[in-house]
Amino acid sequence: MVLGAVVIALALAALMVTASRSREGALSHRQGMRLVLWAGGIVPSVVLLALLIATLPAMRPIRAARDDLRVTVTGEQFWWRMAYRRAGAAVVTSANELRLPVGRDVVLALEGGDVLHSFWVPGLAGKMDMVPGRTNTLVVHATRAGRFRGQCAEFCGLSHALMAFDVVAMEPAAFDAWLAAERRPVTTAASTGARLFDAYGCGGCHAVRGTGAAGAIGPDLTHLGARATMAAGIQPLTTANLVRFIRDAPAVKPGARMPAYPQMSAPDATAIARWLETNR
């Protein structure tokens, strides 16, 4: 493209020099009009039409098949709710990370849980609004494995800029293994962290399948340990980051819909964080 632009610019410059050097009347009015007709009308029309025809097939939307994986992605202040649906299987709920099998069409049903959000993964597809009360469908097709960053692209409140997420495109076999693991409840319901999680009432907002916690206001934390980032893609998932977030979420994310726990001791927060991390 740069080469083409340089050639055109040089040609125009040469034309300008010739025009300014030639004597007056070298081109008759008629010849001038003909030049305008060809260079300004016919040639551009033909070139643009050819380009349009050549690129039209690439603009055809991907048609979803009935048995494609469907993921409902719901924008919430300031995180992402994910629900994986496969024909004939129970829904798998997760959050803040979207995993996709490479080489397969995946239907994303985009919804708004509270206010307007916008789903935007530049490495995967164009942006699309998430509107409360309606479902926008986007069919995506990852062509190579890897990690892509997504970001909310519609101002949605104080922590709008801190509403990101990771897209992980995986080989189909690895994806199936991950989805099967994600489907399983946790087996650590008897640990100290689980007991404290329950005692602090975290289960009123968060679900951890395999324990009594079944809240649906905040992200599903069942397999939090399997994610690379936390708090909607803004930090790497580490014990220290978890402890800080659990004790004072609004300090990390202004306006976060999770209360601070100033009365929570550091050892309690650490025990909860360690427990959440072990659930992979």
**Contacting residues toward ligand HEC, per CB under 6 A:** 78-79, 95-96, 159, 197, 200-202, 204-206, 217-219, 221, 230-232, 242, 245-246, 253, 256-259, 261, 272, 276
Token digits for 130?
């998430």
Closer of 124 and 170 to Cu ion (Cβ): 124
Q: How far apart are CA 25 and CA 19, in angstroms?
A: 11
Minimum CB distance to Cu ion, residue 82 (Å): 15
CA nearest neighbour of 225 among 257, 252, 188, 261: 188
Helix H segments across the chain?
2-21, 29-35, 43-55, 172-183, 192-199, 239-247, 249-252, 266-278
Q: Is 167 in the site for Cu ion (CB under 5 A)?
A: no
Residue span 127-166 as binding mask against Cu ion, x where in contact by CB under 5 A, dash where not: -------------------------x---x------x---
Find which of ligand HEC, Cu ion, none residue 117 binds, CB within 5 to 8 Å per kind: Cu ion
Alpha carbons 142 and 105: distance in angstroms, whole number:
8
Quote the least distance from Cβ 97 to ligand HEC, whole Å: 8
**Residue window 9-48: x/- pattern of binding to Cu ion, with contact defined by CB under 5 A:** ----------------------------------------
Does residue 234 bind Cu ion (CB under 5 A)?
no
Least Å distance, CB 52 to ligand HEC, is 44
DSSP 8-state secondary structure symbol assigned to residue 159: T
What is the spatial distance between Cα 146 and Cα 126, in angstroms, rounded to a whole number? 18
83-103 exposure pattern, b = at least 16 Cβ within 10 A, e = fewer = bbbeeeeeebbbbbbbbbbbe
Q: For 196, which DSSP code?
A: H
Query: Which residues here bind Cu ion, judged by CB under 5 A?
Result: 117, 152, 156, 163
